[in-house]
Structure 1
Amino acid sequence: MRLLHPDPLGRGNFLIGVRPKTLGAAIHSVGTSEFVSTVAAFVNESIAADAVHLERWRSDASSASGYLVEWLGSGGTEYAELCRLMDTYYQHYCHIDPLFEPVRGKAGTMLVLRNVGSIADGEFRRKIFDEPQIAHECALVHGTARVQYAFALARNKKQSAFTTNELFYFRQMAEMLFPLFELHARTSAVCRTAAVPFNVTPNMGFDERLSAQDVQLSRREYEICKLLLNGRTIPDAAEQLEIKLSTAESYVKRAFAKLGVRTKRELFEWALAENWSADRVVMSE
Protein backbone atom coordinates (compact mmCIF):
# COMPACT_ATOMS: atom_id res chain seq x y z
CA MET A 1 0.00 0.00 0.00
CA ARG A 2 1.29 3.46 -0.89
CA LEU A 3 -0.05 6.65 0.66
CA LEU A 4 0.22 9.40 -1.95
CA HIS A 5 0.75 13.11 -1.43
CA PRO A 6 -1.99 15.04 -3.27
CA ASP A 7 0.48 17.34 -5.06
CA PRO A 8 4.10 16.24 -4.58
CA LEU A 9 5.40 18.53 -7.33
CA GLY A 10 3.95 21.59 -5.63
CA ARG A 11 2.23 22.82 -8.76
CA GLY A 12 -0.96 23.82 -7.03
CA ASN A 13 -4.49 22.60 -7.66
CA PHE A 14 -5.28 20.59 -10.76
CA LEU A 15 -8.34 21.59 -12.75
CA ILE A 16 -10.89 18.89 -13.48
CA GLY A 17 -12.96 19.03 -16.63
CA VAL A 18 -16.60 18.73 -15.58
CA ARG A 19 -19.47 18.11 -17.94
CA PRO A 20 -22.64 19.54 -16.38
CA LYS A 21 -24.75 16.71 -17.80
CA THR A 22 -22.88 13.84 -16.12
CA LEU A 23 -22.35 15.75 -12.88
CA GLY A 24 -26.04 16.65 -12.85
CA ALA A 25 -26.96 13.00 -13.40
CA ALA A 26 -24.84 11.99 -10.39
CA ILE A 27 -26.46 14.65 -8.20
CA HIS A 28 -29.95 13.73 -9.40
CA SER A 29 -29.37 10.02 -8.63
CA VAL A 30 -28.38 10.55 -4.97
CA GLY A 31 -30.34 8.10 -2.83
CA THR A 32 -31.19 5.78 -5.75
CA SER A 33 -29.77 2.47 -6.98
CA GLU A 34 -28.26 4.30 -9.96
CA PHE A 35 -26.05 6.58 -7.90
CA VAL A 36 -22.75 4.65 -8.00
CA SER A 37 -23.06 3.91 -11.72
CA THR A 38 -23.67 7.59 -12.52
CA VAL A 39 -20.71 8.59 -10.35
CA ALA A 40 -18.67 6.03 -12.31
CA ALA A 41 -19.73 7.70 -15.56
CA PHE A 42 -18.66 11.08 -14.17
CA VAL A 43 -15.26 9.81 -13.02
CA ASN A 44 -14.67 7.96 -16.31
CA GLU A 45 -14.71 11.23 -18.19
CA SER A 46 -11.32 11.98 -16.61
CA ILE A 47 -10.02 8.58 -15.43
CA ALA A 48 -10.86 5.28 -17.10
CA ALA A 49 -11.86 2.50 -14.70
CA ASP A 50 -13.43 -0.91 -15.25
CA ALA A 51 -15.14 -0.85 -11.86
CA VAL A 52 -15.80 1.51 -8.96
CA HIS A 53 -16.76 0.69 -5.39
CA LEU A 54 -18.16 2.82 -2.58
CA GLU A 55 -18.22 1.84 1.08
CA ARG A 56 -18.57 3.44 4.50
CA TRP A 57 -16.78 2.54 7.74
CA ARG A 58 -18.35 3.39 11.08
CA SER A 59 -16.98 2.79 14.55
CA ASP A 60 -19.24 0.37 16.43
CA ALA A 61 -18.73 -0.96 19.93
CA SER A 62 -21.00 -3.95 19.24
CA SER A 63 -18.53 -5.35 16.71
CA ALA A 64 -15.48 -7.30 17.83
CA SER A 65 -13.40 -5.50 15.20
CA GLY A 66 -14.58 -2.10 16.48
CA TYR A 67 -16.23 -0.98 13.26
CA LEU A 68 -18.86 -1.76 10.64
CA VAL A 69 -18.07 -1.91 6.94
CA GLU A 70 -21.05 -0.93 4.79
CA TRP A 71 -21.06 -1.54 1.05
CA LEU A 72 -22.92 1.33 -0.61
CA GLY A 73 -22.63 0.01 -4.14
CA SER A 74 -20.45 -0.72 -7.16
CA GLY A 75 -20.49 0.20 -10.82
CA GLY A 76 -18.99 -1.36 -13.94
CA THR A 77 -19.69 -3.02 -17.25
CA GLU A 78 -20.13 -6.57 -15.90
CA TYR A 79 -22.49 -5.41 -13.15
CA ALA A 80 -24.01 -8.75 -12.09
CA GLU A 81 -20.64 -10.46 -11.86
CA LEU A 82 -19.22 -7.42 -10.10
CA CYS A 83 -21.92 -7.58 -7.44
CA ARG A 84 -21.24 -11.28 -6.84
CA LEU A 85 -17.54 -10.54 -6.45
CA MET A 86 -18.13 -7.72 -3.98
CA ASP A 87 -20.64 -9.77 -2.02
CA THR A 88 -17.89 -12.36 -1.52
CA TYR A 89 -15.44 -9.62 -0.54
CA TYR A 90 -17.73 -8.12 2.10
CA GLN A 91 -18.74 -11.52 3.43
CA HIS A 92 -15.22 -12.86 3.91
CA TYR A 93 -12.38 -10.42 3.35
CA CYS A 94 -13.19 -6.76 4.04
CA HIS A 95 -12.00 -6.85 7.66
CA ILE A 96 -8.56 -8.16 6.73
CA ASP A 97 -7.91 -6.16 3.55
CA PRO A 98 -4.32 -4.89 3.95
CA LEU A 99 -5.02 -1.82 1.76
CA PHE A 100 -7.45 -0.29 4.24
CA GLU A 101 -6.26 -1.52 7.64
CA PRO A 102 -3.63 1.27 8.04
CA VAL A 103 -6.05 4.13 7.26
CA ARG A 104 -9.15 3.10 9.20
CA GLY A 105 -9.88 5.55 12.00
CA LYS A 106 -7.64 8.31 10.57
CA ALA A 107 -9.29 11.67 9.92
CA GLY A 108 -8.78 13.57 6.68
CA THR A 109 -8.53 12.67 3.00
CA MET A 110 -6.06 10.05 1.81
CA LEU A 111 -5.27 8.54 -1.57
CA VAL A 112 -4.01 4.94 -1.42
CA LEU A 113 -2.68 2.74 -4.21
CA ARG A 114 -2.72 -1.05 -4.11
CA ASN A 115 0.20 -3.10 -5.40
CA VAL A 116 -1.68 -6.21 -6.49
CA GLY A 117 1.57 -8.02 -7.27
CA SER A 118 2.67 -7.75 -3.65
CA ILE A 119 -0.43 -9.49 -2.25
CA ALA A 120 0.52 -12.86 -0.79
CA ASP A 121 -0.66 -15.93 -2.66
CA GLY A 122 -3.83 -17.28 -1.14
CA GLU A 123 -7.59 -17.31 -1.27
CA PHE A 124 -7.96 -13.52 -0.93
CA ARG A 125 -5.73 -12.77 -3.90
CA ARG A 126 -7.10 -15.61 -6.02
CA LYS A 127 -10.81 -14.85 -5.55
CA ILE A 128 -10.73 -11.06 -5.46
CA PHE A 129 -7.95 -10.26 -7.93
CA ASP A 130 -6.59 -13.17 -9.99
CA GLU A 131 -9.84 -14.82 -11.07
CA PRO A 132 -11.62 -11.53 -11.99
CA GLN A 133 -8.29 -10.33 -13.51
CA ILE A 134 -8.07 -7.14 -11.46
CA ALA A 135 -4.54 -5.75 -11.76
CA HIS A 136 -4.71 -2.12 -10.59
CA GLU A 137 -6.63 -0.38 -7.81
CA CYS A 138 -6.57 3.00 -6.11
CA ALA A 139 -8.92 4.50 -3.53
CA LEU A 140 -9.83 7.79 -1.94
CA VAL A 141 -10.55 7.59 1.81
CA HIS A 142 -12.19 10.52 3.56
CA GLY A 143 -13.82 11.19 6.91
CA THR A 144 -13.33 11.39 10.64
CA ALA A 145 -12.08 8.95 13.24
CA ARG A 146 -15.67 7.68 13.62
CA VAL A 147 -17.03 7.71 10.04
CA GLN A 148 -15.07 7.25 6.82
CA TYR A 149 -15.93 6.74 3.16
CA ALA A 150 -13.78 4.81 0.70
CA PHE A 151 -14.21 5.19 -3.06
CA ALA A 152 -12.10 2.78 -5.14
CA LEU A 153 -11.28 2.52 -8.85
CA ALA A 154 -10.15 -0.78 -10.39
CA ARG A 155 -8.69 -1.79 -13.75
CA ASN A 156 -8.24 -5.24 -15.26
CA LYS A 157 -5.05 -6.77 -16.62
CA LYS A 158 -5.69 -5.40 -20.11
CA GLN A 159 -5.41 -1.83 -18.83
CA SER A 160 -2.30 0.11 -17.85
CA ALA A 161 -1.57 1.19 -14.29
CA PHE A 162 -2.95 4.50 -13.02
CA THR A 163 -0.64 7.34 -14.00
CA THR A 164 0.58 10.04 -11.64
CA ASN A 165 -1.60 12.63 -13.37
CA GLU A 166 -4.66 10.40 -13.09
CA LEU A 167 -4.05 9.96 -9.39
CA PHE A 168 -3.72 13.74 -8.98
CA TYR A 169 -7.02 14.27 -10.80
CA PHE A 170 -8.68 11.59 -8.68
CA ARG A 171 -7.47 13.26 -5.48
CA GLN A 172 -8.86 16.60 -6.65
CA MET A 173 -12.31 15.02 -7.06
CA ALA A 174 -12.57 14.42 -3.32
CA GLU A 175 -14.02 17.84 -2.50
CA MET A 176 -16.73 17.31 -5.10
CA LEU A 177 -17.57 13.65 -4.51
CA PHE A 178 -17.56 13.06 -0.76
CA PRO A 179 -20.40 15.47 0.08
CA LEU A 180 -22.49 13.51 -2.43
CA PHE A 181 -21.42 10.21 -0.83
CA GLU A 182 -22.45 11.43 2.62
CA LEU A 183 -25.84 12.57 1.36
CA HIS A 184 -26.36 9.32 -0.52
CA ALA A 185 -25.52 7.25 2.57
CA ARG A 186 -28.09 9.17 4.62
CA THR A 187 -30.86 8.64 2.07
CA SER A 188 -30.35 5.06 0.83
CA ALA A 189 -30.05 1.53 2.14
CA VAL A 190 -26.65 -0.16 2.16
CA CYS A 191 -26.09 -3.26 0.02
CA ARG A 192 -24.35 -5.19 2.79
CA THR A 193 -23.21 -4.53 6.34
CA ALA A 194 -20.18 -6.49 7.50
CA ALA A 195 -19.09 -6.77 11.12
CA VAL A 196 -17.49 -9.28 13.45
CA PRO A 197 -20.11 -9.73 16.21
CA PHE A 198 -19.03 -10.30 19.78
CA ASN A 199 -20.94 -13.57 20.03
CA VAL A 200 -18.55 -15.08 17.46
CA THR A 201 -15.45 -13.12 18.38
CA PRO A 202 -12.30 -14.90 17.18
CA ASN A 203 -10.66 -14.04 20.50
CA MET A 204 -13.06 -16.32 22.31
CA GLY A 205 -12.57 -19.17 19.84
CA PHE A 206 -8.81 -18.68 19.93
CA ASP A 207 -8.59 -19.11 23.69
CA GLU A 208 -11.00 -22.06 23.67
CA ARG A 209 -9.04 -23.85 20.97
CA LEU A 210 -5.70 -23.12 22.61
CA SER A 211 -7.04 -24.54 25.87
CA ALA A 212 -7.93 -27.82 24.18
CA GLN A 213 -5.08 -28.54 21.75
CA ASP A 214 -1.40 -29.23 22.15
CA VAL A 215 -0.10 -25.91 20.79
CA GLN A 216 2.63 -24.12 22.72
CA LEU A 217 2.83 -20.35 22.25
CA SER A 218 5.19 -18.07 24.10
CA ARG A 219 3.70 -15.15 25.99
CA ARG A 220 4.66 -12.68 23.25
CA GLU A 221 3.41 -14.95 20.46
CA TYR A 222 0.09 -15.24 22.27
CA GLU A 223 -0.17 -11.47 22.82
CA ILE A 224 0.59 -10.75 19.14
CA CYS A 225 -2.11 -13.17 17.96
CA LYS A 226 -4.66 -11.66 20.33
CA LEU A 227 -3.93 -8.16 19.03
CA LEU A 228 -4.24 -9.30 15.41
CA LEU A 229 -7.59 -10.93 16.22
CA ASN A 230 -8.71 -7.60 17.68
CA GLY A 231 -8.15 -5.96 14.30
CA ARG A 232 -4.70 -4.51 15.02
CA THR A 233 -1.91 -4.50 12.45
CA ILE A 234 1.57 -5.83 13.19
CA PRO A 235 3.00 -2.27 13.48
CA ASP A 236 0.16 -1.42 15.91
CA ALA A 237 0.97 -4.51 17.96
CA ALA A 238 4.68 -3.68 18.02
CA GLU A 239 3.92 -0.19 19.29
CA GLN A 240 1.51 -1.39 21.96
CA LEU A 241 3.93 -4.09 23.20
CA GLU A 242 6.85 -1.63 22.97
CA ILE A 243 8.98 -3.90 20.80
CA LYS A 244 10.67 -3.43 17.45
CA LEU A 245 8.65 -4.09 14.31
CA SER A 246 11.13 -6.75 13.19
CA THR A 247 10.74 -8.48 16.56
CA ALA A 248 6.93 -8.41 16.28
CA GLU A 249 7.16 -9.87 12.77
CA SER A 250 9.34 -12.69 14.12
CA TYR A 251 6.78 -13.48 16.83
CA VAL A 252 4.01 -13.55 14.22
CA LYS A 253 6.01 -15.84 11.95
CA ARG A 254 6.73 -18.29 14.78
CA ALA A 255 3.14 -18.23 16.08
CA PHE A 256 1.68 -18.77 12.61
CA ALA A 257 4.03 -21.72 12.04
CA LYS A 258 2.90 -23.34 15.29
CA LEU A 259 -0.77 -22.82 14.44
CA GLY A 260 -0.37 -23.96 10.84
CA VAL A 261 -1.67 -20.68 9.34
CA ARG A 262 -0.10 -18.30 6.82
CA THR A 263 -2.22 -15.14 6.93
CA LYS A 264 -4.32 -13.06 9.28
CA ARG A 265 -7.41 -14.37 7.52
CA GLU A 266 -6.35 -17.95 8.24
CA LEU A 267 -5.73 -16.98 11.87
CA PHE A 268 -9.36 -15.79 12.08
CA GLU A 269 -10.57 -19.03 10.50
CA TRP A 270 -8.43 -21.10 12.89
CA ALA A 271 -9.89 -19.27 15.88
CA LEU A 272 -13.48 -19.65 14.66
CA ALA A 273 -13.23 -23.20 13.32
CA GLU A 274 -15.75 -25.61 14.82
CA ASN A 275 -14.45 -28.95 13.55
CA TRP A 276 -11.30 -29.61 15.55
CA SER A 277 -10.46 -32.39 17.96
CA ALA A 278 -10.14 -31.46 21.63
CA ASP A 279 -6.74 -32.16 23.13
CA ARG A 280 -4.63 -30.00 25.43
CA VAL A 281 -2.51 -26.89 25.17
CA VAL A 282 0.41 -25.49 27.11
CA MET A 283 1.29 -21.81 26.86
CA SER A 284 4.98 -21.32 27.54
CA GLU A 285 6.57 -18.27 29.06
Structure 2
Amino acid sequence: MDVRTIDIHQEPASSCVSVAIDLIGRMGEPGYARQLTDSLSQVVRFAHLCILSFSRLTPPDLLGTGSTLSPACAEDTAYIYLDGHYNADPTGQLRAANVDSGRQLYIQRQRAEDIANADYRMSCYEKPGIVDRLSLFQHFGPDNWIAVNLYRDSSQGHFDSSEYARLITVAPIVTASADKHRQLVTSNPHVPANGLLEYDAVAPTIEQRLATIGPMLSAREFEVCSRILLGLSAKEIARQLGIAPNTVAEHRKNAYAKLAVRNHKQLFARFSL
Protein backbone atom coordinates (compact mmCIF):
# COMPACT_ATOMS: atom_id res chain seq x y z
CA MET A 1 0.00 0.00 0.00
CA ASP A 2 1.53 3.29 -1.16
CA VAL A 3 0.92 5.83 1.61
CA ARG A 4 2.50 9.22 2.26
CA THR A 5 2.00 11.58 5.19
CA ILE A 6 1.20 15.18 4.22
CA ASP A 7 2.38 18.16 6.25
CA ILE A 8 -0.78 20.09 7.11
CA HIS A 9 1.21 23.00 8.56
CA GLN A 10 3.02 23.99 5.38
CA GLU A 11 2.35 27.33 3.70
CA PRO A 12 -0.75 26.95 1.50
CA ALA A 13 -0.18 27.04 -2.25
CA SER A 14 -2.10 29.47 -4.43
CA SER A 15 -4.13 26.57 -5.83
CA CYS A 16 -5.10 25.64 -2.27
CA VAL A 17 -6.37 29.17 -1.61
CA SER A 18 -8.36 29.12 -4.85
CA VAL A 19 -10.02 25.81 -3.96
CA ALA A 20 -10.83 27.12 -0.48
CA ILE A 21 -12.58 30.19 -1.91
CA ASP A 22 -14.66 27.98 -4.22
CA LEU A 23 -15.73 25.63 -1.41
CA ILE A 24 -16.53 28.03 1.43
CA GLY A 25 -19.97 28.95 0.16
CA ARG A 26 -20.93 25.33 -0.56
CA MET A 27 -20.04 23.62 2.70
CA GLY A 28 -23.17 22.25 4.36
CA GLU A 29 -25.17 22.47 1.12
CA PRO A 30 -26.27 19.76 -1.34
CA GLY A 31 -24.01 21.30 -4.02
CA TYR A 32 -20.80 20.76 -2.04
CA ALA A 33 -19.70 17.54 -3.79
CA ARG A 34 -20.44 19.06 -7.19
CA GLN A 35 -18.37 22.14 -6.36
CA LEU A 36 -15.52 20.01 -5.01
CA THR A 37 -15.59 18.01 -8.25
CA ASP A 38 -15.43 21.20 -10.33
CA SER A 39 -12.64 22.68 -8.22
CA LEU A 40 -10.45 19.57 -8.11
CA SER A 41 -10.87 18.93 -11.83
CA GLN A 42 -8.89 22.15 -12.33
CA VAL A 43 -6.02 20.63 -10.34
CA VAL A 44 -5.96 17.02 -11.50
CA ARG A 45 -7.88 14.99 -14.08
CA PHE A 46 -10.16 12.28 -12.70
CA ALA A 47 -13.34 10.40 -13.53
CA HIS A 48 -15.17 10.14 -10.22
CA LEU A 49 -15.05 11.51 -6.69
CA CYS A 50 -16.40 10.09 -3.44
CA ILE A 51 -16.44 11.71 0.02
CA LEU A 52 -16.77 9.48 3.09
CA SER A 53 -16.75 9.80 6.86
CA PHE A 54 -15.45 6.83 8.89
CA SER A 55 -15.59 5.84 12.53
CA ARG A 56 -14.58 2.66 14.36
CA LEU A 57 -17.99 1.39 15.45
CA THR A 58 -20.30 2.25 12.55
CA PRO A 59 -20.26 1.80 8.75
CA PRO A 60 -18.94 4.80 6.80
CA ASP A 61 -21.28 7.65 5.91
CA LEU A 62 -21.46 8.89 2.32
CA LEU A 63 -21.00 12.67 2.25
CA GLY A 64 -21.36 12.96 -1.51
CA THR A 65 -20.22 11.82 -4.94
CA GLY A 66 -19.25 13.63 -8.09
CA SER A 67 -18.06 12.82 -11.59
CA THR A 68 -16.60 14.45 -14.67
CA LEU A 69 -17.87 11.54 -16.80
CA SER A 70 -20.86 9.72 -15.25
CA PRO A 71 -22.51 10.88 -11.98
CA ALA A 72 -24.67 7.75 -11.95
CA CYS A 73 -21.59 5.48 -12.12
CA ALA A 74 -19.94 7.39 -9.27
CA GLU A 75 -23.00 7.09 -7.04
CA ASP A 76 -23.72 3.46 -7.86
CA THR A 77 -20.12 2.44 -7.19
CA ALA A 78 -20.11 4.34 -3.90
CA TYR A 79 -23.14 2.38 -2.66
CA ILE A 80 -21.55 -0.89 -3.78
CA TYR A 81 -18.46 0.07 -1.76
CA LEU A 82 -20.65 0.85 1.27
CA ASP A 83 -22.33 -2.53 0.99
CA GLY A 84 -19.45 -4.15 2.91
CA HIS A 85 -16.55 -3.71 0.49
CA TYR A 86 -15.08 -0.92 2.60
CA ASN A 87 -13.90 -3.65 4.96
CA ALA A 88 -11.39 -4.76 2.29
CA ASP A 89 -10.08 -1.23 1.69
CA PRO A 90 -6.44 -0.97 2.90
CA THR A 91 -7.14 2.47 4.33
CA GLY A 92 -8.70 0.50 7.17
CA GLN A 93 -5.15 -0.33 8.24
CA LEU A 94 -4.52 3.39 8.76
CA ARG A 95 -7.63 3.75 10.89
CA ALA A 96 -6.69 0.75 13.02
CA ALA A 97 -3.08 1.79 13.47
CA ASN A 98 -3.61 5.50 14.10
CA VAL A 99 -6.97 5.80 15.82
CA ASP A 100 -5.38 7.27 18.95
CA SER A 101 -2.92 9.50 17.12
CA GLY A 102 -3.14 13.23 16.63
CA ARG A 103 -4.52 14.88 13.55
CA GLN A 104 -2.85 13.21 10.55
CA LEU A 105 -3.34 13.59 6.80
CA TYR A 106 -2.33 10.89 4.34
CA ILE A 107 -2.47 10.32 0.61
CA GLN A 108 -2.89 6.67 -0.38
CA ARG A 109 -2.70 5.22 -3.87
CA GLN A 110 -4.53 2.08 -4.90
CA ARG A 111 -4.31 0.64 -8.41
CA ALA A 112 -6.77 -2.02 -9.46
CA GLU A 113 -4.01 -4.55 -10.09
CA ASP A 114 -2.66 -4.09 -6.56
CA ILE A 115 -5.92 -5.08 -4.81
CA ALA A 116 -5.63 -8.54 -3.27
CA ASN A 117 -9.34 -9.01 -2.46
CA ALA A 118 -10.86 -10.33 -5.70
CA ASP A 119 -14.48 -9.47 -4.84
CA TYR A 120 -13.60 -5.90 -3.87
CA ARG A 121 -11.46 -5.49 -7.00
CA MET A 122 -14.18 -6.83 -9.29
CA SER A 123 -17.11 -4.92 -7.75
CA CYS A 124 -15.54 -1.51 -7.16
CA TYR A 125 -12.84 -1.36 -9.85
CA GLU A 126 -13.17 -3.78 -12.76
CA LYS A 127 -16.95 -3.59 -13.30
CA PRO A 128 -17.14 0.25 -13.27
CA GLY A 129 -13.86 0.44 -15.25
CA ILE A 130 -11.75 2.01 -12.49
CA VAL A 131 -7.99 1.56 -12.82
CA ASP A 132 -6.52 3.87 -10.17
CA ARG A 133 -7.44 5.75 -6.99
CA LEU A 134 -5.84 8.52 -4.98
CA SER A 135 -7.32 8.82 -1.50
CA LEU A 136 -6.87 11.81 0.81
CA PHE A 137 -7.39 10.42 4.28
CA GLN A 138 -7.34 12.51 7.46
CA HIS A 139 -7.87 11.72 11.12
CA PHE A 140 -9.83 14.51 12.82
CA GLY A 141 -10.27 12.61 16.10
CA PRO A 142 -11.21 11.37 18.50
CA ASP A 143 -12.97 8.86 16.24
CA ASN A 144 -13.56 10.53 12.90
CA TRP A 145 -11.80 10.02 9.60
CA ILE A 146 -12.54 11.84 6.36
CA ALA A 147 -11.71 10.23 3.00
CA VAL A 148 -11.85 12.04 -0.33
CA ASN A 149 -11.27 9.49 -3.08
CA LEU A 150 -10.45 10.37 -6.69
CA TYR A 151 -10.77 7.66 -9.34
CA ARG A 152 -9.40 7.29 -12.86
CA ASP A 153 -11.12 5.02 -15.36
CA SER A 154 -9.62 3.03 -18.21
CA SER A 155 -10.08 5.90 -20.69
CA GLN A 156 -7.85 8.14 -18.57
CA GLY A 157 -5.18 5.71 -17.41
CA HIS A 158 -3.21 5.91 -14.19
CA PHE A 159 -2.33 9.02 -12.20
CA ASP A 160 1.21 10.22 -12.83
CA SER A 161 3.72 11.71 -10.38
CA SER A 162 2.94 15.33 -11.29
CA GLU A 163 -0.78 14.82 -10.60
CA TYR A 164 0.10 13.12 -7.33
CA ALA A 165 2.15 16.17 -6.34
CA ARG A 166 -0.55 18.67 -7.36
CA LEU A 167 -3.17 16.88 -5.32
CA ILE A 168 -0.91 16.98 -2.28
CA THR A 169 -0.77 20.79 -2.47
CA VAL A 170 -4.55 21.12 -2.08
CA ALA A 171 -5.07 18.14 0.24
CA PRO A 172 -5.29 20.06 3.56
CA ILE A 173 -8.11 22.36 2.44
CA VAL A 174 -9.97 19.50 0.72
CA THR A 175 -10.14 17.27 3.80
CA ALA A 176 -10.72 20.19 6.19
CA SER A 177 -13.63 21.48 4.10
CA ALA A 178 -15.09 17.96 3.82
CA ASP A 179 -15.01 17.62 7.62
CA LYS A 180 -16.64 21.02 8.03
CA HIS A 181 -19.28 19.97 5.50
CA ARG A 182 -19.89 16.84 7.59
CA GLN A 183 -20.38 18.94 10.72
CA LEU A 184 -22.79 21.32 8.99
CA VAL A 185 -24.98 18.65 7.39
CA THR A 186 -25.09 16.77 10.69
CA SER A 187 -26.53 19.85 12.38
CA ASN A 188 -28.98 20.65 9.54
CA PRO A 189 -32.08 18.39 9.59
CA HIS A 190 -32.85 19.10 5.94
CA VAL A 191 -29.44 18.15 4.51
CA PRO A 192 -28.42 14.57 5.35
CA ALA A 193 -24.79 13.41 5.20
CA ASN A 194 -25.03 12.30 1.58
CA GLY A 195 -25.79 15.87 0.53
CA LEU A 196 -29.27 15.15 -0.81
CA LEU A 197 -32.23 17.16 0.33
CA GLU A 198 -34.69 15.39 2.60
CA TYR A 199 -37.83 14.42 0.73
CA ASP A 200 -40.29 16.04 3.16
CA ALA A 201 -38.46 19.38 3.01
CA VAL A 202 -39.12 20.03 -0.69
CA ALA A 203 -41.65 17.38 -1.74
CA PRO A 204 -44.67 19.71 -2.07
CA THR A 205 -43.04 21.81 -4.81
CA ILE A 206 -41.71 18.74 -6.62
CA GLU A 207 -45.06 16.96 -6.46
CA GLN A 208 -47.04 19.95 -7.70
CA ARG A 209 -44.87 20.31 -10.79
CA LEU A 210 -44.72 16.57 -11.45
CA ALA A 211 -48.51 16.31 -11.16
CA THR A 212 -48.77 18.88 -13.95
CA ILE A 213 -46.47 17.09 -16.39
CA GLY A 214 -47.30 13.51 -15.38
CA PRO A 215 -51.02 13.09 -14.64
CA MET A 216 -50.88 9.69 -16.37
CA LEU A 217 -48.44 8.23 -13.82
CA SER A 218 -49.56 5.59 -11.35
CA ALA A 219 -49.19 6.39 -7.65
CA ARG A 220 -46.01 4.35 -7.34
CA GLU A 221 -44.52 5.73 -10.56
CA PHE A 222 -45.24 9.22 -9.23
CA GLU A 223 -43.43 8.42 -5.95
CA VAL A 224 -40.41 7.06 -7.80
CA CYS A 225 -40.14 10.00 -10.23
CA SER A 226 -40.52 12.63 -7.51
CA ARG A 227 -37.58 11.07 -5.67
CA ILE A 228 -35.49 10.81 -8.82
CA LEU A 229 -36.02 14.55 -9.24
CA LEU A 230 -34.57 15.03 -5.76
CA GLY A 231 -31.43 13.17 -6.79
CA LEU A 232 -32.07 9.92 -4.92
CA SER A 233 -30.62 6.68 -6.27
CA ALA A 234 -32.65 3.53 -6.89
CA LYS A 235 -31.34 2.03 -3.65
CA GLU A 236 -32.31 5.10 -1.65
CA ILE A 237 -35.78 5.19 -3.22
CA ALA A 238 -36.20 1.50 -2.46
CA ARG A 239 -35.31 2.08 1.19
CA GLN A 240 -37.75 5.00 1.50
CA LEU A 241 -40.64 3.18 -0.18
CA GLY A 242 -39.95 -0.24 1.31
CA ILE A 243 -39.64 -2.00 -2.05
CA ALA A 244 -36.84 -3.77 -3.93
CA PRO A 245 -34.42 -1.79 -6.16
CA ASN A 246 -35.52 -3.93 -9.12
CA THR A 247 -39.11 -2.84 -8.49
CA VAL A 248 -37.98 0.78 -8.46
CA ALA A 249 -36.27 0.20 -11.81
CA GLU A 250 -39.47 -1.27 -13.27
CA HIS A 251 -41.60 1.67 -12.10
CA ARG A 252 -38.96 4.07 -13.44
CA LYS A 253 -39.01 2.33 -16.85
CA ASN A 254 -42.81 2.53 -17.05
CA ALA A 255 -42.86 6.16 -15.93
CA TYR A 256 -40.23 7.19 -18.47
CA ALA A 257 -42.26 5.55 -21.25
CA LYS A 258 -45.37 7.48 -20.22
CA LEU A 259 -43.44 10.75 -19.99
CA ALA A 260 -41.65 10.13 -23.31
CA VAL A 261 -38.18 10.42 -21.77
CA ARG A 262 -35.31 7.93 -21.95
CA ASN A 263 -33.22 8.79 -18.88
CA HIS A 264 -33.00 10.98 -15.78
CA LYS A 265 -31.40 13.85 -17.71
CA GLN A 266 -34.39 14.04 -20.03
CA LEU A 267 -36.71 13.79 -17.01
CA PHE A 268 -34.99 16.79 -15.43
CA ALA A 269 -35.22 18.69 -18.72
CA ARG A 270 -38.92 17.90 -19.06
CA PHE A 271 -39.50 18.91 -15.44
CA SER A 272 -37.71 22.24 -15.95
CA LEU A 273 -39.70 23.33 -19.02
Q: TM-score range by the shorter chain?
A: 0.5 to 0.7
Q: Which amino acid aligns with 1:142?
A: Q
The answer (yes or no) to whether the contact 2:51–2:63 under 8 Å persists in 1 is: yes
Distance 2:6 2:177 in 1: 21
Per the normalisation by structure 2, the TM-score is 0.59
1:84 alignment partner, one of 69, 76, 79: 76
Question: In structure 2, do the counterparts of structure 1 residues 5 and 92 end up closer, same or farther at CA, with 3 Å as the change threshold?
Answer: closer
Q: Cα offset for 1:166?
A: 1.7
* Secondary structure of 1:73's aligned partner: strand
Measured in 1, the distance between the counterparts of 2:123 and 2:106 equals: 26
Q: State whether residues 137 and 147 of structure 2, in contact with CA within 8 Å, keep that contact through their aligned partners in structure 1.
A: yes
Q: Secondary structure at the match of 1:75?
A: strand
User: Structure 2: any 5+ residue segments left out of the alignment?
Assistant: 186-191, 196-273
- Asked if the contact 2:108–2:134 (Cα under 8 Å) also holds between the matched residues in 1, the reply is yes
In the alignment, which residue of structure 2 is the partner of 1:184? 181
TM-score (norm 1): 0.57
| Counterpart contact for 2:65–2:74, Cα < 8 Å | yes
Radius of gyration: which is bigger?
Answer: 1
Alpha-carbon distance, 1:115 to partner = 2.5
Aligned to 1:119: 115
User: Of 169, 173, 183, which residue of structure 2 is paired with 1:172?
Assistant: 169
SS of equivalent to 1:85: helix
Provide the rounded CA distance (Å) in 2 between the counterparts of 1:28 and 1:139: 24
C-alpha distance in 2, partners of 1:173/1:179? 10
The count of residues paired between Structure 1 and Structure 2 equals 180
CA distance in 2, matches of 1:17, 1:57: 27
Q: Is the 8 Å Cα contact of residues 105 and 172 (structure 2) preserved in structure 1?
A: no
Q: Deviations over 1:145-195 (max 9, x none)?
A: 511101111000121321222212212212222221121101222239xxx
SS at match of 1:139: strand
Aligned match of 2:232 = none
What corresponds to 2:92 in structure 1? 101
Secondary structure of 1:104's partner? helix
- Give the secondary structure class of the aligned counterpart of 1:165: helix
| 1:210-229 matched pairs, under 5 angstroms | none
Q: Contact 2:16–2:170 (CA<8 Å) still a contact in 1?
A: no
Give 4+ residue runs of structure 1 displaced > 4 Å after superposition. Answer: none
Partner amino acid, structure 2, of 1:184: H
* 1:151 corresponds to: 148
Aligned equivalent of 2:137, options 136, 141, 146: 141
SS at match of 2:95: coil
Contact 1:6–1:168 under 8 Å retained in 2: no
Distance verdict in 2 for CA 1:47–1:119, change over 3 Å? same
Deviations 1:205-262 (CA, angstroms, capped at 9, x unpaired): xxxxxxxxxxxxxxxxxxxxxxxxxxxxxxxxxxxxxxxxxxxxxxxxxxxxxxxxxx
Q: Equivalents in 1 of 2:176, 2:16: separation in Å?
A: 16
Which residue is equivalent to 1:52?
A: 49
- In 1, Cα distance between the equivalents of 2:54 and 2:160? 27
Instruction: Report if the CA contact (8 A) 1:14-1:168 is conserved.
Output: no
Who is 1:32 aligned against? Answer: 29
Q: Distance in 2 between matches of 1:178 and 1:4?
A: 15
Select the structure that is richer in helix.
2
Show the counterpart of 1:41.
38
Identity %: 14
Provide the rounded CA distance (Å) in 2 between the counterparts of 1:184 and 1:128: 25
Q: 1:167 & 1:56 partners in 2: Cα distance?
A: 22
- Which amino acid in structure 2 is aligned with residue 191 of structure 1? N
